[in-house]
Amino acid sequence: MKRLQQHAIIPTKGSRMAAGHDIYTLKDGTIAAQRQMLVDTGIAIGLPSGTYGRLGARTGMASKHGIVVGGGVIDAEFTGEIKVILWNNGNTSYEFKAGDRIEQLMVEKSTNTRCHANR
């Protein structure tokens, strides 16, 4: 994991047994009700071969404010900035500040299988 921006926060685990790493916002922002926003994190990651990253909503944000993560898969070869699509399913705007935890990153094993279309 590396910082791409000076004020970016490297992902952390909330506890030794936590399943995912907390991902933090780079800037302040507001997501209007029933809208989405692409949120900068200022970080990049390198994933081991045979894995992928899965972005997941933070339970408190989802249950209290209706904020969920759109998209959500980071392929092992992706090395660019992690940006998070947040959806506000609530009826009021949601404000966040730089440095707020906005989602979780789980690193999971993947199999490299091929899909074949029926013809």
DSSP code for 28: -
Distance CA 54, CA 6 (A): 25
Kindly report the backbone phi and psi dihedral angles of residue 59, in degrees, each rounded to the nearest multiple of 5, phi listed first.
Answer: -60, -45
Residue 89 has pLDDT above 90, yes or no: yes
Whole-angstrom distance, CA of residue 6 vs CA of residue 84: 19
pLDDT of residue 119: 60
Residue 111 pLDDT grade (very low, low, confident, very high; cuts 50, 70, 90): confident
pLDDT over 90, % of the chain: 77
Q: How much is the pTM?
A: 0.86
Three-class DSSP category at 63: helix
Tens-place pLDDT, residues 38-73 = 999 999 999 999 999 999 988 888 889 999 999 889
> Can you tell me the distance from the alpha carbon of 27 to that of 1, in angstroms, rounded to the nearest whole number?
19
pLDDT at 40: 96
Q: What is the pLDDT of residue 58?
A: 87
Q: Which structural domains are found in the chain, ordered by start?
A: 2-109 (2.70.40.10)
Write the pLDDT tens digit of every residue in 9-27: 999 998 999 989 999 999 9
Mean pLDDT of the chain: 92
Kindly state the average pLDDT of the residues 88-115.
91
Cα–Cα distance, 57 to 103 (Å, whole number): 5
